Every structure is written in structure tokens, then in C-alpha cells.
Structure 1
Amino acid sequence: MSQRTTTIERLREPVAGYGLPARTVVALVASLLGNLAIVNLAISADLAPDLPALSYPPVVFLTTVGVLGAAVVYWLLSTRVETPTGTFTRLAWAVLVLSFVPDIAVLLLDETATAAGVGALVFMHVTAAVACIAFIPSGD
């Protein structure tokens, strides 16, 4: 019986043989490119012109911190569990859902926030999470 390959597993294949630092760089570049494109679109569309979170410096900084944090978590899991890829993937999806809480708080508490602006923030979290899930694990 053959196993079906998911899109994320197909994305992972070209980088799976490289070490964690290289896979982390790939995840970081993919996350930054995606998130900077989202910020550019959000700024161009004037989604939330006064929302500080929708500007380049915080997006670059927080995306970098998030991806490096994900790499550390994967490294820790790889030294402690039998199936680090599966464990990391489940944990990353859970953290992604939890990452929406601050975005909702921004919408409720920041008068400069708009639903479309916060939607862009949520989409950036999804972009970084998918890049981390696709590229950081080795697939073991």
C-alpha cells in the first residue's frame, strides 16, 4: 500500500538532506519574502495605515525571532523525541492557532487596527508557520 505525499512533504524534499542551519535559512528566507510581500500589499492597499505592526521593521524582526525560535524548538525535539518531525509539526500548528490571540487583542484594543489589517497579520503568521513546518524538519 502506497502512502500519499502531502504538499508540505514535497516542499521539504529538496532541503531535507541539509543540516538544520541551512534548513532554517531556507525557512527564514521563505518567511521573510512572504511576509514582506504581505506588508507591501497591506501598505499599498492602505489596510491599516497607522497600525505599527504593519510596517517593515517589526515584521522583519518578529519573523526572524519566530523562525529562529522554531529552529531551536525543532533542535530540542530532535534530541529528545523519537519522531521530531511529527511532534514539531503538531506543536507548530498549535502555536499558530495560539498566535492569533494577540492579533485578536490588537483588533479589540488598538484603535488604529482594522479587520483587514489584522487579517494581514494573521496571514503573516500562517505564512511563517507553513515555511517553518515545510523547511525546518528533516522529515525523519
Structure 2
Amino acid sequence: MSRVSETLPTRRGPIMVAGGVFVAFLLSSLVNALIAVLAHALGAPDDFRPLEPSSYVFLTALGVLGGSVGWALVRRFSSDPERLLRRLVPSVVVLSFVPDFFLFGEGEVTGVGALLLMHVAVAVIAVPTYRRVMPLSSAR
């Protein structure tokens, strides 16, 4: 490895960060669309509003954007961001399930299962993106 590549800064510019977050949003939305289609094919009712694109695309945008803000804050203020995020990310994903559990009252198991899977899919896509565009090694 050359000395030049070892000394390159790991800080990313705001355009690269915004672009990465946008790509994470697009990929997450596409995966969530696939999950919604599969859920409908497996029996989720067509009128289950959370599986309509207007619902899940908006909430995907909020999740990806909120996650990026949280990631940036942890990078900035935590003395050990890697350790904190290893605990925080799964905790936030599990907490994000809570509103979906209330939809079980409608008797819709397939749709709710799809929604829970969507939360996980967004995290699986967004976290590596944040890691790439907002590396933890440059936090301090």
C-alpha cells in the first residue's frame, strides 16, 4: 500500500454524505417495494395501507434520514462511537417495531410481518452506507 493512500483523510464532504444517504433511501425503497409485492402475493390484503408505496416510501425516507442524523451525532459526541452504535442500532430497530405491533389488532399477520422485515431491510442497507460516507474512525 502506498504512503499516499495511508495519509488520505477519512472525512467525507457533505455532498458525498448526502449522496450516500440518498442512495440508501433509494435502495431501501426498492427493497421495501419488493417486500410489499411479496407480502401481497402471500395474502396481505390489497387495502392494507401501510403496504402502499405512499406510506412505506415516506417512512423509509424518515428512517434513513433520522438514522443518518443519529449516526452523525454519535460520531460527533461519543468517545467510543463504534461501541455505542453496536448497541444503539439494534435497539432502535427493535423500538421501531412497536407501532407495527399495534396493527396485529387488525388481524393482519402477513402485512405486519412484511413491515417488520422492512425495518430490518432499511437498517441492513443504511448502516453500511453510513459507515462508508460517515466513517467512525474520523469522528474525533
* TM-score of Structure 1 vs Structure 2, range by shorter chain: 0.7 to 0.9
C-alpha distance in 2, partners of 1:27/1:84? 21
Please, which runs of 5 or more residues in structure 2 have no aligned partner? Answer: 1-9
Of 72, 75, 79, which residue of structure 2 is paired with 1:75? 72
Residues 60-98 of structure 1: CA distance to partner in whole angstroms, max 9, x if unpaired? 100001100001111111211133344234212101111
What is the aligned-residue identity percentage?
34
Identify if the C-alpha distance between structure 1 residues 86 and 70 changes in structure 2 by more than 3 Å, giving closer, same or farther. Answer: same
Residue 117 (structure 1) aligned with residue 111 (structure 2): yes
Q: Taking structure 1 as the reference length, what is the TM-score of the superposition?
A: 0.76
C-alpha distance in 1, partners of 2:11/2:23? 13
Q: Which runs of 4+ in 1 moved over 4 A?
A: none
Please, which runs of 5 or more residues in structure 1 have no aligned partner? Answer: 1-15
C-alpha distance in 1, partners of 2:109/2:76? 41
Residue of structure 1 equivalent to 2:61: 64
Two-structure CA RMSD over aligned residues (Å) = 2.0
Identify if the C-alpha distance between structure 1 residues 66 and 94 changes in structure 2 by more than 3 Å, giving closer, same or farther. Answer: same
C-alpha distance in 2, partners of 1:21/1:37? 24
Q: Taking structure 2 as the reference length, what is the TM-score of the superposition?
A: 0.76
C-alpha distance in 2, partners of 1:128/1:75? 17
Residue of structure 2 equivalent to 1:4: none
1:60 partner amino acid: V
Residue of structure 2 equivalent to 1:10: none
